[in-house]
Chain A
Amino acid sequence: MHLSEGILPMKWAAAWYAVAIPFVAKGIADVKKKAKAEPYFKPLLGMMAAAVFIISCMPVPVPTAGTCSHPCGTGMSAILIGPVMSILVTSIALFIQALFLAHGGITTWGADIASMGIAGSFAAYFTFKLLRRFKFSFFASGFVAGVLADWATYATTSFELASALHGNKPLGRLFITILIAFIPTQLPLGILEGFLTGGMAAFVARRRPDILMKLKAT
């Protein structure tokens, strides 16, 4: 989910930066440790950022809510490389998108990382791990993880918009209004994201199970 440049007032933009930066810093610290043992990991993260960029750069405008909609791709990256590194990858994909596609923004970068990176990645990762523990198939686990990652992202974005723009009106009312405004695109897009993530997990498990083993994504 991408909030357009300039939509958030300055104090809210700064507040979401404060939320996002510690997660990105933790991701950087983790990569430094991991890259010592597995030096190919940095190029792998670069490739994953490129993949997230490609998947999440198909915007569908949702004018009533003031944002764009699209598959996130973060559920997929969280399953493969873990939630914290997925946040790092998302921060890079969002930065390039904001610069070259006017998709998202530099001032809304923190808020976009919070919704797409933090909420989306953690929702997908824990859902996938939980369902795999109960022996669900790769497709079913990936499907539910993808759907929940997408919906968690959009719920967070709705909260970000509502908290910044509610003014004198009640926060809860605007939050619900924005959530409802997202429904026409988010319900189908969440399901699309589910097929994307579940299909990816099943395809990789069938064709190249060594990748899932290597990344401990089983």
Chain B
Amino acid sequence: MRNEIFADTFARRENIFTRIDARIKIAFIAASILTILSSKTPHAPFVAALLVITALSFLRVPFKILALRLAAPLGIALTLFLIKIFYCELNSGLLITAKTMGSTLLVLFLSMTTTLDRLLAACRWFRVPGLWIEICLIAYRYIFVLLEDAITVYDAQTLRLGYSSPIKAFRSIGCLAGAIIIRAYDQSIATYEAMMMRGYRG
């Protein structure tokens, strides 16, 4: 489940949307988000949100995954809506909610139908600096490695009652952060050496 939340698992499936060129998808999503942001009524954003939900259902993306990814923006959008109702600004509340949901779902649709490497290759075509893309790919690759390490250290700390009181928890969290940094540093040296052995010259 953890990997499904973070990873581009759904983008690796074979279907009609994953086969479309990433550049076309980026252009389409960008144009749709700009339309949503400039919309004066909530109709267009709500229609976009519904279309994306329908498309993701067609792709058999589990509702639980979608709900988890949408939890924070959805909660915020609904509460902003309630606040606006309180201030008798129903239309404004509906508009902000619709814009947030519409544009968030469009971005999720992009990430659930395009792998990060294809997405970044398309970004390169749109003249995003190569160095930024290179570091981004390294970061994405090692998120999962560092996450596993962080979970291992956290579990070990928990078993040793490292989080049994607030003071111990504060101390443990600092050690956890330090362990992640040391691991990240050592891994960067190892990765560089491995890349150099395979012909990488920076």
A positions within 8 Å CB-CB of B: 4-7, 9-10, 13, 24, 28, 31-32, 35-36, 39-40, 42-51, 53-55, 59, 61-64, 66-68, 76, 80, 88-89, 91-93, 95-96, 98-103, 105-107, 139, 192, 195-204, 207-208, 211
Q: Does B14 contact A (CB under 8 A)?
A: no
B182 within 8 A of A: yes
B195 contacts partner chain A, Cβ-Cβ < 8 Å: yes
29 pairs from A and B in contact (CB 8 Å cutoff)? A4-B100, A6-B100, A32-B131, A36-B202, A40-B188, A42-B138, A43-B187, A43-B195, A44-B184, A46-B134, A46-B142, A47-B146, A49-B135, A50-B140, A53-B143, A55-B177, A55-B180, A62-B76, A63-B76, A63-B79, A66-B96, A96-B139, A98-B107, A100-B5, A101-B5, A101-B6, A199-B173, A202-B174, A203-B179
Closest 3 CB pairs of A and B: A199-B174, A203-B178, A46-B138
Q: A50-B146, A99-B110, A200-B178 are in contact. Are A39 and B196 (CB under 8 A)?
A: yes
Q: By the criterion CB–CB under 8 Å, are B103 and A42 in contact?
A: no
Which B residues are within 8 Å of any A CB, using their own CB? 5-8, 33-34, 36-38, 45, 69-73, 75-80, 83, 96, 99-104, 107-108, 110-111, 116, 119, 129, 131-132, 134-143, 145-147, 150, 170-171, 173-175, 177-182, 184-185, 187-189, 191-192, 195-196, 201-202
Q: From the candidates B6, B80, B134, B187, name the one contacting A63 in the complex (CB within 8 A).
A: B80
Q: In the assembled complex, how far is the CB of residue A167 from the closest CB belonging to chain B, in whole angstroms?
A: 9
Cβ of B73 and Cβ of A4 under 8 Å apart? yes
Residues of A contacting B116 in the complex (Cβ-Cβ under 8 angstroms): 96, 99
Which residue of chain A has its CB nearest to the CB of B78? A63
Task: Give the residue name and chain of the A residue nearest to B66 (CB).
Answer: A102
Cα(A198)–Cα(B29), bound, Å: 41
Contacts of A66 in B (CB 8 A): 76, 79-80, 96
Q: Contact at A59–B72, with CB atoms within 8 Å?
A: yes
CB proximity of A209 to chain B, nearest CB, Å: 11
Are A203 and B175 in touch, CB under 8 angstroms? yes
User: Roughly how many angstroms separate A104 CA and B134 CA in the complex, as a whole number?
Assistant: 22
* Given A47-B191, A80-B181, 4 extra CB contacts under 8 A: A4-B76, A42-B131, A76-B181, A92-B139
B131–A28 CB distance below 8 A? yes
Which single member of A31, A76, A202 contacts B131 (CB below 8 Å)?
A31
* Least CB separation from B119: chain A residue: A99
- Asked whether, in the complex, the Cβ of B103 is within 8 Å of the Cβ of A6, the reply is yes
Residues in A with CB closer than 8 Å to B195 are 43
- The CA of A13 and the CA of B37, in the complex, are separated in Å by 10
The docked-state distance in angstroms from the alpha carbon of A40 to that of B189 is 6
Bound-state CA distance A39–B191 (Å) is 11
Q: Decide if A93 touches B139 in the complex (CB within 8 Å).
A: yes
Complex Cα spacing A13 to B99, Å = 13
Instruction: Give the chain B neighbours of A200 by CB distance below 8 A.
Output: 174, 177-178, 181
Write the nearest CB–CB distance from B87 to chain A, whole angstroms.
Answer: 10
Are B174 and A203 in contact (CB-based, < 8 A)?
Answer: yes
* Contact across chains for A92 and B135 when beta carbons are under 8 A apart: yes
Contacts of A61 in B (CB 8 A): 71-72, 75-76
Q: Which chain B positions have C-beta within 8 A of A28? A: 129, 131-132
**Is B79's CB under 8 angstroms from A64's CB?**
yes
